[in-house]
Structure 1
């Protein structure tokens, strides 16, 4: 259970229990499937541990549905089966051959793990990458697994979603359908970084990816840092510069007897992060969205994501757009709902993100009406482009309803600019250019949440009430008058800031907020909320993003600010689909710290923030000019 629990903590919302308890509800797999474990040899000789669940009914042939994962294909051993298999219960009960594989260097597979292992476009003989590992696995499965119909589909959420994307590149001819879900696209923009800013709140997850091993194991070989507090804000504030966290990422080296020696081993992922602060060749080589031109039209794709996914919002949006750009003949669809990370795989009826309620049976309906139909059409059905599913099936998080479009963003979207005016106004026309100053105090950074807790990876903040931030002097607030008609955003948002700072470095954070009416009653579904979280005047965060200011012109070649010089900083916020309803207000918040979601910028330029000293951190005064604007994609 520990292995699955740890994977879930990282953000992979798993339905697949490894419990050995057998009751009537969980007996379906045991009663209807047989399990075999095999080691499949890759072209370079490395063997990958693979678990195959085959229907006991051998009177017909079945497609193969495969998930490749770094999070373990447990339970291991004869007679030990998962209680739920496949993408959802419908695909499990309809009958499919379900395959799980530990990727290279993880758990029971041989080899050494490389985090976001780089794709090699033109491989030489016996060269391997995740693309070839997937190809070789599929080739073995269709040739050796009995009763398969020759059609393969792949799926996965988060890191397994990344491997589903990988499967579609230079794909095996048997691969007919791939569903990358919350898929990582590039580690400089997903999960551990946002636009070059380090997600400090993820630091406990580093060891899950960076603890070295070179032999197969069915037990966890990594451990997580102990914070010994429930107040993560104070913990990181007390720790100070990032280099003070190095102590958490050195592990004992074992001698030949398995005993700890005097030598230490560095966490290779932490070392990679701290030694490569810029978007250099290391990160560029690991990105996968740059290779969407290698997805053949023979593979149908359905990219799935959540509008409130704190971990992987960039990846699925950019994966879908990349395939659209390069694959004019591809069947490529997008599904985005009101979910946080992987919540579409949930079996719960009430769909919340944090405190905010979006409706009933949203995930269950997706599984039955969208996901199951997609795989059945391409693996069991005609497999043509007439799947009966929309090109874009997206949830309006303001109106709380699904919409279908022939493209994403919809064709009837126009760009509109709103300006950050004085007196906290967000206006459709630019007024005079004024300066608005605030002090960014490194000893009192703006928190990302008002909750006092320690979390493994944060999620709830994506829909948190933002009133606590709006009432701080170091958070600038700009909002419209009460809207007299609905206003729908559909697509990306570009913040075009004009700023200055007394220092030579700064981060810039922009948040888009839906301010609910003061007389809005809290409905019965939100009865669980505490008094201070009632819906009256609730400040729902619709979208937010950070830009590490040094990367404003190039992620590869950072540069300092010239003190007190007016400077352009553009921030692309990921897509939204949200209606600001009549009677609501649209609000923009601008700030310079977001702690400890992201690490604290020294506000003095240093070449590598991971090596900054305490003396480099200085309180500065920042300026936002009122000719700054926000460009929205507005549905007409």
Structure 2
């Protein structure tokens, strides 16, 4: 029982386990899988001899042959043991009930598989005969499956959400000839930009998840071998503020507690993932080797790909967008499609009719439409159908989160997009006209950092803030606000956003956060079901996109550098793609700030070589300046 409780806790990585989802709950009393499938558990030997635990669900109807749908996961292929069956298998209920051979595999070093786990194990391009990585493990597994599983038709598809989405991406690199379709969903692309870091800033709010990936294990097990830090507080803001510098969190990653308090062991770290983060604060060879985006030229044209993501995914927004763009850039002959909807992490796998993120409602049956009309059609065409490029699906199937409607395009971003610069002017104006450069100053108080949410609670990983009302931040003196007049016609942004800030600081270090916000009309009376009691949709400040850049990385993620005090400096921040129409009667607002706590850790605001080892004395309140010749470059749909 303890293992399944823990599996539920780390839900933020795998929505098909986490939401247990309404889809899972709907099927909880259903015996469809038990009645229609047989289950087999095997240990498949890889080329280096390591055995990976694999669970195979095969339709009982053996009158025809079926494709294989496979998911490789670090989150357990449970339940283990004869007679114990999942209640939901395959990417969605349609593919489950149509009949497919469905395979789950514990990746190397996780749960019942042999070997030692490596977080985002580096891809080895030119392997020797016995070298293994996740690419070869996938290849070897597919090779065994098509040769040994009865009633398979020789075609294999892979899918997964979050970390399993990363392994779906991996499957397409140097792919086995039997792999015909891969759907990486919310796929991790690079741990310096996804999940635990954003542009070099550490996502402090994820610290409880560290032990899930960094607790050592060297033997198969069907029960959890890790535990999560106990915060003993329901106020995460105050908890982390009281803890102080990041080095004070080391105690949560020491598994031998007998000598924790002795001076010589106070900085001891047993968790190999936390140690990796602490010892590698910059984008060095360790992080670069683990990134997968740079290998999209290894995806052959024989593998069709459908990349899926959510516009409001707090964990993995960078990964799916960059994966899609990487395949597009390198694979001119590839069948490669993009699907992005109004979802947070993995909610497209949910069977809920109502689709909302946090307080914001986007419509009904959005996820159900995706599952039936897009995902099922994709896999059936390439695994059971002709498998040619005439799939009947668009190149880009994207949801306009402002108009709340689906659109299709033959390219992403759409071809009729132009770049426009909007300037941060004094008097809180956002204008298309560049004016004389003036200074706007604010104090960044290290004792009163700006919260990322006004909620008082402790979360395992944050999600709802992605659509949170930003009025609470706009009313702080250390948040600069710039907005348009009331729009007289619709304005649609489609593609990435580049904040081109010109700043200065009295210190030598600073973070910079930019938020793009849709300010709703004040006379908007309707309120969403589920809206928090203290909120109204009147004047709702919907956060459409946001991003942080740790200022030391403004010129290079590999070679950080301090600011020169009081010197005007360029800081460019790329915000990930959006597809959002700011409607007539709304306003477009930009917020600029320098803390975002405890979503990200506190910057000392004085330069140190390694923030993870900074001392209390390094943290200083500073005065920051934003110059009004700063601009925001939008991708505007014409």
Give the TM-score band, short-chain normalised: over 0.9
Q: Is 2:518 the partner of 1:514?
A: yes
Q: Deviations over 1:147-200 (max 9, x none)?
A: 000000000000000000000000000000000000000000000000000000
Give the root-mean-square deviation of aligned CA atoms: 1.7
- Say whether residues 1:581 and 2:575 are aligned partners: no
Taking the TM superposition and a 5 Å limit, the aligned residue runs for 1:12-161 are 12-14=15-17, 25-161=29-165
Residue of structure 2 aligned with 1:306, choices 300, 307, 310 = 310
1:630 Cα deviation (Å)? 0.1
CA separation of 1:23 and 1:500: change in aligned 2, threshold 3 A:
closer
Q: SS at 2:572's partner residue?
A: strand
Residue 521 (structure 1) shift: 1.5
Structural mapping, 1:322-337, within 5 Å: 322-337=326-341
Contact 2:11 2:19 in 1 (8 A): no
Aligned twin of 2:428: 424
Q: 1:268 to 1:86 in 2, by over 3 A?
A: same
Aligned residue among 430, 438, 443 for 1:434:
438
Mapping 1:487-498, distance limit 5 Å: 487-498=491-502
**SS of 1:266's equivalent?**
coil
Whether the 8 Å contact between 1:252 and 1:265 is mirrored in structure 2 is no
- Cα distance, 1:17 vs structure 2: 5.9
**What is aligned with 2:384?**
380
* Structure 2 counterpart SS, 1:533: coil
Determine if contact 1:178/1:302 at 8 Å carries over to the other structure: yes
Q: Which runs of 5+ in 1 are unaligned?
A: 255-262
Q: Does structure 1 conserve the Cα–Cα contact (< 8 Å) formed by 2:428 and 2:481?
A: yes
CA offsets 1:315-353 (integer angstroms, 9 cap, x no match): 000000000000000000000000000000001000010
Provide the secondary structure at the position in 2 that maps to 1:415. strand
In the alignment, which of 354, 367, 373 is matched to residue 369 of structure 1? 373
Q: Among 2, 6, 25, which residue is 2:5 paired with?
A: 2
- Provide the residue aligned with 1:246 in structure 2: 250
Residues 290-337 of structure 1 show CA distances to partners (whole Å, capped at 9, x for unaligned) of 000000000000000000000000000000000000000000000000
What CA distance in whole angstroms lies between the structure 2 residues aligned with 1:540 and 1:15?
26
- Compared with structure 1, are the counterparts of its residues 597 and 634 closer, same or farther at alpha carbon in structure 2 (3 Å cutoff)? same
Q: Distance in 2 between matches of 1:544 and 1:100?
A: 35
- Residue correspondences, number: 626
Do the aligned partners of residues 20 and 85 (structure 1) sit closer, same or farther apart at CA in structure 2, a change above 3 Å counting? closer
**In structure 2, which of residues 460, 478, 485 is the aligned counterpart of residue 481 of structure 1?**
485
Shift of 1:412: 0.1
Offset from partner CA, 1:491-512 (integer Å, 9 cap, x none): 0000000000000000000000
- Corresponding position of 2:571: 569
| Structure 2 gap ranges (5+) | 259-266
8 Å contact 1:435–1:625 — kept in the other structure?
yes
Q: Does 1:172 align with 2:162?
A: no
* 1:453 alignment counterpart: 457
Structure 1 distance, partners of 2:65, 2:557, is: 50
Residue aligning to 2:287: 283
Kindly indicate whether the alpha-carbon contact (under 8 Å) linking 2:515 and 2:547 is maintained by their aligned counterparts in 1: yes
Query: 2-side partners of 1:633 and 1:35: how far apart?
Result: 50
Secondary structure at the aligned position of 2:168 is classed as: helix
CA shift at 1:14, angstroms?
2.5
User: Does structure 2 retain, via aligned residues, the 8 Å contact 1:253–1:265?
Assistant: no
Please say if 1:319 is aligned against 2:323. yes
* Contact 1:478–1:588 (CA under 8 A) maintained in structure 2: yes
| Equivalent position of 1:257 in the other structure | none
| Structure 1 residues 237 and 577: alpha-carbon distance in aligned structure 2, compared to 1, 3 A threshold | same
Partner SS, residue 255 of structure 2: strand
- For normalisation by structure 2, the TM-score amounts to 0.96
SS class of match (1:202): helix
Distance 1:465 1:15, change over 3 A: closer
Equivalent of 1:533, from 532, 535, 552?
A: 535
State the TM-score, normalizing by the size of structure 1.
Answer: 0.97
- Determine the structure 1 residue equivalent to 2:264: none
State the SS of the aligned residue for 1:432.
Answer: coil
